[in-house]
């Protein structure tokens, strides 16, 4: 299953972040949408900074689900290949974006969903070990009500000198530099830096729709 990055467009401020759409061929994409794990298989992540459901490779049930769904297993296998991070980093560098080398790269995979009513991920700046994050939207065309929110917000601290804690700093401490709306068959790609703040929501929907995504983290291992 080939990922289509040939049409990716990047912004460079306040940090490198881009969008590729479409990211899958239509047939493969719709098959992935139809076989996304049911929400009752995704544990709830609550607390101050989250209101979402997520299942990753460190959790019970993840590998069992992949084993029962050949298309997801094939996708998982392709992104876990050691050549995949190098391909992504090479693609990003081709857009004039520098990424420091690492002796070893790996890919981490997560299924996630957030309810249209109140779903959120508070402002945060990923750990330094996460060099690149890719967030794929998994929904049918026309399925989502954009008025509910759900886009990925690119944030800038109002006071660059203020020390802010991920998942604890309120939205009022930031301005929204840009929003990547939640649309079907797309991938938001961003490079982690000291100022790569971002968030989702809180969403304001009034129905039971879910913002479904898969997230890939390209992680560096310098030790």
CA distances to 27, 129, 192, 198 from 125, rounded to whole Å, are: 35, 11, 8, 7
Q: Quick: pLDDT tens for 182-194.
A: 999 999 999 999 8
Is a pLDDT exceeding 70 seen at residue 223? no
Burial degree of 34 (CB within 10 A; 0-12, 13-18, 19+): exposed
Averaged pLDDT, 79-95 = 96
Q: Work out the average pLDDT over 64-80.
A: 95
Phi, psi (deg, nearest 5) at residue 70: -55, -35
- Residues 194, 213 contacting (CB under 8 angstroms): no
Q: Band of the pLDDT at 126, cuts 50, 70, 90?
A: confident
At what angle are helices 83-93 and 70-80 packed, to 10 degrees?
A: 70
Beta bridge partners of 211: 114
Phi/psi region, residue 47 (left: phi>0; alpha: psi -120 to 50; beta: rest), is left
Q: Which of 69, 74, 101 is CA-nearest to residue 3? A: 74
User: CA 180 from chain center: how many Å?
Assistant: 11
The residue whose two tokens read 């998942």 is 167
Q: What is the mean pLDDT of residues 104-109?
A: 95
Work out the mean pLDDT of the chain and round it to a whole number.
94
Per residue in 7-53, pLDDT (tens digit) is: 999 999 999 999 999 999 999 999 999 999 999 999 998 777 889 99
Per-residue tokens: 54: 């997520």
φ, ψ of residue 120 to 5 degrees: the values are -165, 155
Which backbone phi and psi does 171 adopt, to 5 degrees? -60, -30
What is the model's pLDDT at position 156?
97
Give yes or no for a contact between 134 and 219, defined as CB atoms under 8 angstroms apart: no
């Amino acid at each position: 299953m080939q990922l289509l990055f040939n049409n990716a467009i990047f912004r460079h401020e306040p940090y490198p972040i881009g969008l590729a759409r479409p990211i899958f061929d239509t047939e493969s994409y719709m098959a992935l949408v139809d076989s996304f794990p049911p929400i009752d298989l995704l544990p709830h992540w609550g607390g101050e900074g989250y209101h979402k459901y997520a299942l990753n490779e460190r959790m019970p049930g993840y590998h069992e689900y992949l084993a029962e769904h050949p298309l997801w297993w094939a996708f998982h296998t392709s992104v876990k290949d050691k050549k995949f991070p190098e391909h992504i980093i090479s693609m990003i560098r081709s857009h004039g974006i520098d990424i420091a080398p690492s002796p070893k790269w790996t890919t981490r995979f997560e299924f996630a969903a957030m309810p249209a009513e109140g779903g959120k991920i508070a402002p945060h700046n990923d750990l330094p070990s996460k060099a690149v994050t890719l967030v794929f939207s998994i929904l049918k065309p026309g399925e989502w009500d954009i008025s509910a929110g759900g886009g990925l917000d690119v944030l800038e601290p109002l006071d660059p000198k203020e020390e802010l804690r991920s998942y604890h700093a309120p939205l009022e401490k930031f301005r929204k530099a840009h929003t990547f709306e939640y649309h079907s068959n797309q991938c938001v790609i961003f490079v982690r830096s000291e100022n790569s703040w971002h968030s989702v929501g809180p969403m304001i929907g009034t129905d039971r729709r879910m913002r479904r995504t898969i997230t890939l983290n390209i992680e560096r291992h310098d030790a």
